[in-house]
Each structure stands twice: as C-alpha cells, then as structure tokens.
C-alpha cells in the first residue's frame, strides 16, 4: 500500500522502518487516533477532529500542543485528490512498565492513504463480539481496538458492516461508525455513556438535526428497537451518512431522514 507519513511534522522517508520497537502505541495502545477525509485539498471537519483528539489526550493524561498539531496538519503538502488522513497520537517515552513518565507528550504521526470507494448504502449484520463497558474510556477514539478487530472478523461475505452491542446487550455502534435509527419520526442514537466512540460525523448529524428542528434523542437502544425502526443509518467521518438497507433478514428502503441530513451537511 502506498502511504505517505510524517512524524511530529517531519516527513518520514521509510514508513516500513520508522517506529521504535519500544513505542507505547505498540505495547499498550497508549494513545488516540482520528481518521479524516481530505477532499479538495482540505481536511473536512478539521476543527472537530482536533478538538476530539485534544480531549482524548487530556483524558489519558498526555500532553499535546493543539496549536502545533493544527499547524502541522495545515502545513502538510496535501494533494487535491481525495485521500484518507489518519492521525495517531501516541504517548512518547518508552521504558518498561505501564506507567508513563509524568507530563509525557503525544508523538504526532500522520499517515496519508489513497482514497478507497465504499458503497453508499450498507448491508449489515449483528456481531457476536461486544463492546466492554468502562465510563473512563467511553467516547474516546483510543488505540485499544481489539473488540472491533474481533467483530470485523465475523462479517459474512456480502456484508459491509457489523452492528455491535455492549456486554449487557445494549446497541452501541457499527464496527467503524456510529448508528442512528428513526422511530416514529424521531432520530435516536446510543448515548455512549459507557462505551463507544463519540464520532465526529455523529456530532455533525446531531447538530444538523437539532438545527433543522428534528426531534433527536441520545438514549439506550436495544436490538428490538431496530425491528420497529422506519430507517437506520451509519455515520463516520470518511463515508458520511450511509443508510442501512439490510440488517440480517430485515430490509429497509433508503429513508428520507438520511437523505435530508446528507443534503443539510452537503455530504
């Protein structure tokens, strides 16, 4: 795969041999990441991504200069063809043992991948792999992602995405995105109080829905709520809003609320 990379703002000549074996990302997943859409030479929703990354570092007790990060991201020689920009913030310092040095800073790694197309609608399945609950980590886009790796290994042929429950059976999200449903005309999405990633596109959708006077609720959802839903869709920063047209045996047409929100957000 062709990938271009920068570390703390400096271009990396050989991405295949770049990282220290002792880095805390590898050993503990000690960091956070953002996956961003580069379109027309601009990173879409850049401020929201940087805001979430900043919040994530603060919650992990990792120092980050937001101003320097923003400067590095805006100074990248970004091409005009659509791309995927992955930002990985890993706590610097090696050492053995879980305990980081006090005030250790985030190492800023930027990876630029070529854009890949994805279907604008989603055929989904329920996954057996679960999100574990931990309010201290809930909402964070951190690097501990084994649960999503296990869930994606389950996906059957012909299926694009998996929906995941937490260990108590509440619906949390798709493996790579947040999930919304429409119930009696009302937009609902899991509240993420105990697990899940607080997605940048999720925030955009909630904001746009409220701004256009839609009725919105962040709440506990269960698989049975999907049986009675009028429509359902998945959101993430790369793919925007993608209607679920199939969930195991259930089928939906592309719903009007997903279409309206896509127009509002010009996705």
Residue 16 neighbours by CB under 8 Å, 6+ apart: none
Nearer to its own copies, 106 or 208 (CB): 106
> Residue 207 Cβ, how far from its own copies at the closest point, in Å?
27
**Hey, how many other C-beta atoms are within 10 angstroms of the C-beta on 249?**
6
Q: 176 — phi, psi (to 5°)?
A: -130, 50
> Residue 208 Cβ, how far from its own copies at the closest point, in Å?
27
> Residue 230 Cβ, how far from its own copies at the closest point, in Å?
29
Nearer to its own copies, 28 or 126 (CB): 28
Nearest-CA neighbor of 40 among 82, 87, 84, 86? 82
> Residue 75 Cβ, how far from its own copies at the closest point, in Å?
19
In the complex, the residues that contact its own copies under the rule CB under 8 A are 1, 3, 5, 12, 14-30, 33, 60-61, 84, 86, 88, 90-91, 94-100, 109, 111, 113, 116, 129-137, 142-153, 155, 167, 175-176, 195
Q: Are strands 186-190 and 178-183 parallel, antiparallel or unpaired?
A: antiparallel
> Residue 64 Cβ, how far from its own copies at the closest point, in Å?
16
Nearer to its own copies, 75 or 146 (CB): 146
Dihedral angle sign, alpha carbons of residues 110, 113, 115, 120: negative
Nearer to its own copies, 1 or 211 (CB): 1
Nearer to its own copies, 166 or 231 (CB): 166
Residue 86 neighbours by CB under 8 Å, 6+ apart: 33, 34, 35, 36, 110, 111, 112, 113
Tokens 């929703």 — which residue? 45
């Amino acid at each position: 795969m062709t990938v271009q990379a920068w570390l703390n703002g400096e271009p990396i000549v050989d991405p295949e041999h770049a990282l220290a074996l002792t880095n805390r990302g590898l050993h503990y997943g000690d960091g956070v990441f953002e996956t961003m859409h580069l379109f027309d030479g601009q990173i879409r929703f850049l401020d929201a991504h940087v805001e979430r990354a900043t919040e994530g570092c603060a919650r992990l007790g990792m120092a980050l200069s937001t101003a320097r990060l923003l400067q590095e991201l805006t100074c990248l020689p970004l091409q005009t063809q659509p791309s995927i920009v992955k930002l990985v913030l890993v706590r610097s310092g090696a050492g053995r043992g879980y305990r980081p040095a006090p005030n250790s800073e985030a190492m800023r790694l930027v990876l630029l991948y070529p854009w890949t197309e994805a279907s604008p609608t989603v055929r989904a399945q329920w996954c057996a792999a679960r999100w574990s609950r931990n309010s201290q980590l809930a909402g964070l886009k951190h690097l501990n992602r084994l649960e999503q790796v296990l869930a994606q290994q389950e996906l059957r042929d012909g299926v694009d995405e998996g929906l995941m429950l937490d260990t108590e059976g509440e619906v949390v999200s798709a493996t790579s995105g947040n999930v919304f449903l429409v119930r009696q005309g009302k937009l609902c999405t899991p509240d993420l109080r105990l697990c899940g990633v607080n997605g940048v596109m999720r925030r955009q959708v909630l904001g746009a829905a409220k701004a256009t006077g839609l009725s919105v609720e962040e709440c506990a959802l269960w698989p049975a709520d999907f049986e009675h839903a009028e429509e359902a869709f998945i959101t993430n920063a790369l793919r925007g809003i993608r209607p679920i047209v199939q969930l195991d045996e259930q089928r939906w047409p592309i719903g009007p609320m997903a279409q309206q929100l896509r127009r509002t957000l010009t996705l």
